[in-house]
Amino acid sequence: MHWNRQTPSVMPSNRYRSHTDRVEIPITERSWPTRQLTEAPLWVPVDLRDGNQALAEPMDPGRKRRFFELLVAMGYKEIEVGYPSASQTDFDFVRDLAEQDLVPDDVTIVVFTAARTDLIERTYESVRGLANVVVHMYTATAPTWRDVVLGHDRDSLHRLIFDAAQDVARGGDRHPGTRFEFSPEVFNLTEPDFVLQVCDSLTTLWDASTDRPVIHNLPATVEISTPNAYADQIEYMHRNLARRDSVILSVHPHNDRGTGVACAELAVLAGAQRVEGCLFGNGERTGNVDLVTLALNLHAQGVDPMIDFSDIDAVRRTVEYCNRIEVHPRHPYGGDLVYTAFSGTHQDAIKKGFARHRAAAAASRLDPDRAPWDVPYLPIDPHDVGRDYEAVIRVNSQSGKGGVAYLLQEEYGVDLPRGLQIDFARRVQRATDGSGTEMTAPQLWTLLQDSYSHVGTLHRWAVDHVEDGDRLRIAATLGDTPIDGEATASDPARALARVLSTPDAETEVLSLTRQSIGSGRDAATATFVQCRVGDRTAWGVGVDRSATGSTLRAVLASASRVSAPARPDDVAEVTVRCGKDLPDGTVDTGRA
Ligand SMILES: CC(=O)SCCNC(=O)CCNC(=O)[C@H](O)C(C)(C)COP(=O)(O)OP(=O)(O)OC[C@H]1O[C@@H](n2cnc3c(N)ncnc32)[C@H](O)[C@@H]1OP(=O)(O)O
Ligand SMILES: CC(C)C(=O)C(=O)O
């Protein structure tokens, strides 16, 4: 048996302990696995604090201001604006918000501070004059941090926190209306009973009430376990925190294991009411939880995120400018490539899905942008976030007929017949395989015409409607062979097929599709024809201002290709001369 034989790696994985060895979660049954997300939590972007502290080049005042204005415009009602006691830039920024009256009445400002008297005092100085303020105090509580960083045991650390919380309360007395937040940093590695003890003591000290709830924010400062473990930790706190209705239970996941979003979502199922994070997941190390993904995950489930992402690219541009970090092209909802399919079967499915969506919307008289959405491979309609459909399908060597046809339809309004789609897709694949690059709609259009339209010359023609059909008189060449003849048939295509037929080889029109393309001065007709001579068939495409001209060109091209099929790269320019000497003819210019 070879199929599952793997060899041990050389990495020293045995250096690490599983999270269950590090922290015990005293919960034996949980209700979060069977819950559903039905409404948006309270969102708190911390880009201007946690996001900013993780930047190689922190935001200057202009960038901070721009970010703040973006967050307000998007609808965030609680915004952490900085660590004003830690830096003059942050202090000045908060003062600007106050002095320039930049905070709307329905927006609350959160300011961050360590549990130190001097820092707390400075924090209050910064918010003078601001109406809605949360003072957010933090201290790490996990054993390693207690031992290594802070040099405290549980009791002395609790005293340190409690004393600082008294400073926070006193500051609040001088600044009425201030609300309080506490973060036991590294909550997820802290003994749950210790967190409860500390949080409950602050709930009492700060005199939490339903009118003035305290916020206990429980961070996964460094993500160390699977999201279900975090959810258990949150559900345990949700069930056991004192005065639960006077506490807003908040979470603050980071993304060290790449599961920050899952942690936040499961935490909300487990009882969290508030989520702190950053747009596009900026933040320490692998980042804070991504608020864009969280919000749009709700949107994609039919739940209003209460935040406006209707122009996600504008949001992204501002965030990229402020953070000086680019958003990855695969970033959920906002990356450049996330609504784009290159591969054939996906493109085919999306094309069919679009057609079904438009038809269903029309049948129920709904705006397609409002109609229920169920398009394969696109969890949301790109229009919802201000993206157009242009980039949804892009063609390279992995694409199939569906994608090729979609681009030609969207860009040129031509709907290739299925047989031609199949034939042309093979040519596209050969062309892209050869070059290794992508093909745009104009390149496809050129390849289509070069492949199917270039093999005959239409000198002049005229059609008379006679009793038993259409009489066609024509002068052309088929390759090097001059054609000069006339025939009558049910339509000009079949009449030309007769002209082209010889006693040994009949030319037969197997299929013919005509479509109008362009509009106004650019209006033209495209005709797609498949002819058979003996046991060979070939497609031809004719484009002309006149419908009959385009038909004749298509038949000529098709018949010519049947007798001398062009190689895929065999492209030639062909000119059509004017039919001056045929009074009832049509004057043509262009390719035949
Ligand atoms: C999870 C997070 O994101 S926490 C936020 C982290 N953000 C930042 O640190 C950005 C801004 N910070 C700073 O600019 C500085 O750290 C300052 C201005 C706040 C403090 O600077 P300093 O006084 O020079 O202290 P420094 O940063 O060197 O060391 C931290 C000290 O604070 C103590 N400390 C750390 N966290 C806390 C806390 N939450 N509450 C109280 N004291 C704390 C440490 O034990 C250490 O004390 P020690 O000097 O007695 O060993
Ligand atoms: C202290 C909290 C809020 C924090 O930033 C973290 O744990 O990452």
457 sits in which H/E element: strand 456-466
182 sits in which H/E element: strand 179-185
Residues in CB range of 261: below 8 A, 6 or more apart? 253, 255, 289, 290, 293, 294, 297
Distance between CA atoms of residues 218 and 196, nearest Å: 11
- Collapsed DSSP state (helix, strand, coil) of residue 220: strand
User: 485 forms bridges with which residues in the sheet?
Assistant: 474
Is residue 138 in contact with ligand 2, taking CB distance under 6 Å? yes
**Selected residue with higher pLDDT from 391 and 156:** 156
Provide the pLDDT for residue 468: 83
Is residue 325 in contact with ligand 1, taking CB distance under 6 Å? no
Tell me the percentage of the chain whose pLDDT exceeds 70.
94
Provide the pLDDT for residue 455: 67
Provide the pLDDT for residue 26: 93
Query: 211 is written with which tokens?
Result: 């009118």
Q: Is the pLDDT of residue 533 over 50?
A: yes
Task: Among 46, 113, 116, 161, name the best residue to mutate to test ligand 1's pocket (greatest count of ligand atoms within 8 A of Cβ).
Answer: 116
For 49-82, what is each residue's pLDDT tens digit?
A: 999 999 999 999 999 999 999 999 999 999 999 9
Q: Is the pLDDT of residue 360 over 60?
A: yes
Tell me the percentage of the chain whose pLDDT exceeds 90.
83
Distance between CA atoms of residues 562 and 255, nearest Å: 61
Query: 339 is written with which tokens?
Result: 């609504």
Provide the pLDDT for residue 591: 32
Helices (H), 187-329: 192-205, 227-240, 260-269, 291-299, 312-323
Q: Is the pLDDT of residue 525 over 70?
A: yes
Cβ atoms < 10 Å from Cβ of 199: 25
Distances (CA, A) of 511 to 413, 419, 529, 541, 557: 20, 10, 6, 12, 14
Provide the pLDDT for residue 459: 85
Amino acid, res. 272: A
Distance between CA atoms of residues 209 and 207, nearest Å: 6
Distance between CA atoms of residues 461 and 185, nearest Å: 85
ipTM of the complex: 0.93
Say how many residues make up the chain.
592
Angle at alpha carbon of residue 271, lines to 305 and 221, rounded to 5°? 85
Is residue 50 in contact with ligand 1, taking CB distance under 6 Å? yes
CA dihedral 93, 99, 105, 109 (to 10 degrees): 30
Which atom of ligand 1 is closest in space to residue 149's alpha carbon? Answer: 45
Provide the pLDDT for residue 352: 94
For 229-282, what is each residue's pLDDT tens digit?
A: 999 999 999 999 999 999 999 999 999 999 999 999 999 999 999 999 999 999
437: pLDDT confidence band, cut at 50, 70 and 90? confident
Query: 249 is written with which tokens?
Result: 């239970």
Task: Give me ligand 1 centre to Cα 83, in Å.
Answer: 11
553 sits in which H/E element: helix 547-563
Which atom of ligand 2 is closest in space to residue 50's alpha carbon? Answer: 5
Which atom of ligand 1 is closest in space to residue 83's alpha carbon? Answer: 11
Provide the pLDDT for residue 1: 60
Please spell the DSSP secondary structure of 463-527, one letter per residue.
EEEETTEEEEEEEEEETTEEEEEEEEESSHHHHHHHHH--SS--EEEEEEEEEEES-GGG-EEEE
Is residue 221 in contact with ligand 1, taking CB distance under 6 Å? yes
Q: Is the pLDDT of residue 509 over 50?
A: yes
| Global confidence as pTM | 0.86
Ligand number nearest CA of 218 is 2
Return the DSSP state at 147: I
User: 181 forms bridges with which residues in the sheet?
Assistant: 136, 215
Amino acid, res. 371: A
Ligand number nearest CA of 114 is 1
Provide the pLDDT for residue 567: 43
Which atom of ligand 1 is closest in space to residue 186's alpha carbon? Answer: 1
- Collapsed DSSP state (helix, strand, coil) of residue 314: helix
What phi-psi label fits residue 365: left (phi over 0), alpha (psi between -120 and 50 degrees) or beta?
A: left
215 sits in which H/E element: strand 214-220
